[in-house]
A and B are shown apart, each in its own frame.
Chain A
Amino acid sequence: MPLLRRRKPRKKRCRHDSKELEARGLELRIPEGGELVLLNQFLILGALLFSLGVYGLLVRRNAVMVLLSIELMLNAVNVNLVAFESFLRNAGAGGQIFAIFVITVAAAEVGIGLAIILLIFRNRTSANVDELDLMKW
């Protein structure tokens, strides 16, 4: 839920001046008083997601599951990027734009990855990564 809802996204504004906001048809929904949302809570969540992805990547046998774990790791990166964007005052839109890049690349990666898995499955009737040992000597 966005904490500020605005009708017109055109203008920059200062968020403490609630009268000015109301004059422009905006609502201030944050209770007055200090915010205590730490950056670290997002970073730790991102770290947790990433390490769970690492665990899945190492432990899974099925190639589709490995790809799912990679998605978890990419998502952890997105959490960090957006949190940093919110943290830095002069980030422009950098964090969000890179989050969009990550999402785009993830889509490409899944497209190619699944195509490869489908081909392997067709040739070997199995999608288990530890049975793909033809190149081993």
Chain B
Amino acid sequence: MDGWDVAIVIVKVLVVFALLLAATILLVWIERKVVADMQNRIGPERAGPWGILQTLADGLKLLFKEQIRPNKVEVGMYLLAPVLTLLPAFLIFMVIPIGVPFTVTLGGVERVVSMQGTDLNVGLLYILAMSSLAVYAVVLAGWSSGSKYPLLGGVRATAQAISYEAAMGLALVPVVFYAGSLSISEIVAAQSGTWGGIVPRWNIVPLFLSFVIFFIAIIAETNRAPFDLVEAEQEIVGGFHTEYSGFRFACFFLAEYINMFNMSAIAATLFLGGWNGPTFGLTGFVSWLLPIIYFFIKTFVLIFIFMWVRATLPRFRYDQLMTLGWKRLIPAALLWLVLSAVVVGWRQFGAPWT
């Protein structure tokens, strides 16, 4: 652990930060374009080529807007919530590997730099823990606004987060069975290779139901349509961020898109093999670049599904949300968990009668 190692860590953190911000700017634009296309509109097209700078323009506008602070707010919490919403959003991406490690010689020593912020032994647990922290910002924003609709949004957020976190956690347990580790890099490594040279050895193939449950749960966790009861404009006028304006509102907006990117990246890592993909026997620089491209392709495919779902489905009613969570997803996840445990046990220890 010398100066160079510290420098590598700092660079990694900065890269994650920049990557997430860039991804957000791109995501907002993509979403507006995709949704516009699905609704037979054109979408933003004035700012920059194809309107790609629209997000920047919007962000700048928000920066220069007045930040209104209503009289009845709990000042400390009200100011803390926008910061708190960004924190887990940035932290969660630290354990996701976006490519294969490469070697550099710095200070006379060869160092292996993994394309991952840090590789925790209990990475999966860390992801679950961090994503469960995301609800705090919403609850605090709703509670501290001192207003009716934000409070309703906050209450809805707590109930929704607890319900769908359970399903999400249960859906991930079979992944741990198959990989035999909680470390994200080992889960990715366990998904390399193919079955019979054709079907990639991704978790989505044996664990398709897990993937479906996980994907529904992450849509609910990120409060995206059709699970956006927390911020439903038509019901509770924007929910938890009703009383926020200017840059503080921008923080919530930013966090929502970062979370969407994070969750898609996690789903791609855990179920779609992460950066795994055919390298066509190439070597050198290309073999290092290809995994990164694969990772982003998978992530953006999932993000496209996010947007597709948003453009297609109407919002759930509150009781439908609870029914889906508690009576459909969790029992299904539990059954699937038992089933995959039996399969893994059978494979490892043989049939019970032998």
A103 to chain B, nearest CB (A): 12
Contact residues in A for B1 (Cβ distance below 8 Å): 27, 29
A7 at the interface (CB under 8 A from B): yes
Q: How far is the CA of A10 from the CA of B302 in the complex (A)?
A: 33
Q: Which residue of A lies closest to B181 (CB)?
A: A9
Contact residues in A for B119 (Cβ distance below 8 Å): 7
A6 at the interface (CB under 8 A from B): yes
Q: How far is the CA of A83 from the CA of B214 in the complex (A)?
A: 36
Q: How far is the CA of A6 from the CA of B183 in the complex (A)?
A: 11
Q: Which residue of A lies closest to B118 (CB)?
A: A5
Interface-central residue, A6, A9, A27, by most chain B CB under 10 Å: A9
Interface 1/0 per residue, A79-114 and B, CB below 8 Å? 000000000000000000000000000000000000
B121 at the interface (CB under 8 A from A): yes
Main secondary structure of the interface of A (DSSP, over half): loop
Q: How far is the CA of A29 from the CA of B2 in the complex (A)?
A: 11
Contact residues in A for B121 (Cβ distance below 8 Å): 6, 9
Q: How far is the CA of A29 from the CA of B1 in the complex (A)?
A: 8
Q: How far is the CA of A7 from the CA of B116 in the complex (A)?
A: 13
Interface 1/0 per residue, A28-49 and B, CB below 8 Å? 0100000000000000000000
Contact residues in A for B181 (Cβ distance below 8 Å): 9
Number of A-B contacts (CB under 8 A): 7
Interface 1/0 per residue, A1-39 and B, CB below 8 Å? 000001101000000000000000001010000000000
B1 to chain A, nearest CB (A): 6
Interface 1/0 per residue, B179-192 and A, CB below 8 Å? 00101000000000
Q: How far is the CA of A6 from the CA of B181 in the complex (A)?
A: 14
Q: How far is the CA of A27 from the CA of B5 in the complex (A)?
A: 12
Contact residues in B for A29 (Cβ distance below 8 Å): 1
Interface 1/0 per residue, B221-263 and A, CB below 8 Å? 0000000000000000000000000000000000000000000
Interface 1/0 per residue, A104-135 and B, CB below 8 Å? 00000000000000000000000000000000
Q: How far is the CA of A27 from the CA of B121 in the complex (A)?
A: 14
Contact residues in B for A7 (Cβ distance below 8 Å): 119
B94 to chain A, nearest CB (A): 14
Contact residues in A for B183 (Cβ distance below 8 Å): 9
Interface 1/0 per residue, B1-15 and A, CB below 8 Å? 100000000000000
Q: How far is the CA of A9 from the CA of B179 in the complex (A)?
A: 14
B100 to chain A, nearest CB (A): 15
Q: Which residue of B lies closest to A6 (CB)?
A: B121
Q: How far is the CA of A9 from the CA of B120 in the complex (A)?
A: 10
A2 to chain B, nearest CB (A): 8
Q: Which residue of B lies closest to A28 (CB)?
A: B1
Q: Which residue of A lies closest to B112 (CB)?
A: A25
Q: Which residue of B lies closest to A9 (CB)?
A: B121
Contact residues in B for A9 (Cβ distance below 8 Å): 121, 181, 183
Q: How far is the CA of A62 from the CA of B12 in the complex (A)?
A: 47
A121 to chain B, nearest CB (A): 15
Contact residues in B for A27 (Cβ distance below 8 Å): 1
Interface 1/0 per residue, B129-169 and A, CB below 8 Å? 00000000000000000000000000000000000000000
Q: How far is the CA of A137 from the CA of B242 in the complex (A)?
A: 50
Q: How far is the CA of A26 from the CA of B182 in the complex (A)?
A: 18
Q: How far is the CA of A7 from the CA of B123 in the complex (A)?
A: 11
Interface 1/0 per residue, B80-123 and A, CB below 8 Å? 00000000000000000000000000000000000000010100
Q: How far is the CA of A20 from the CA of B332 in the complex (A)?
A: 46
Q: How far is the CA of A27 from the CA of B183 in the complex (A)?
A: 17
B256 to chain A, nearest CB (A): 28
Could you write out 6 A-B pairs with CB less than 8 Å apart?
Answer: A6-B121, A7-B119, A9-B121, A9-B183, A27-B1, A29-B1
Which A residues fall within an 8 A CB radius of B?
Answer: 6-7, 9, 27, 29
Pick the 3 closest A-B CB pairs, nearest first: A9-B121, A27-B1, A29-B1
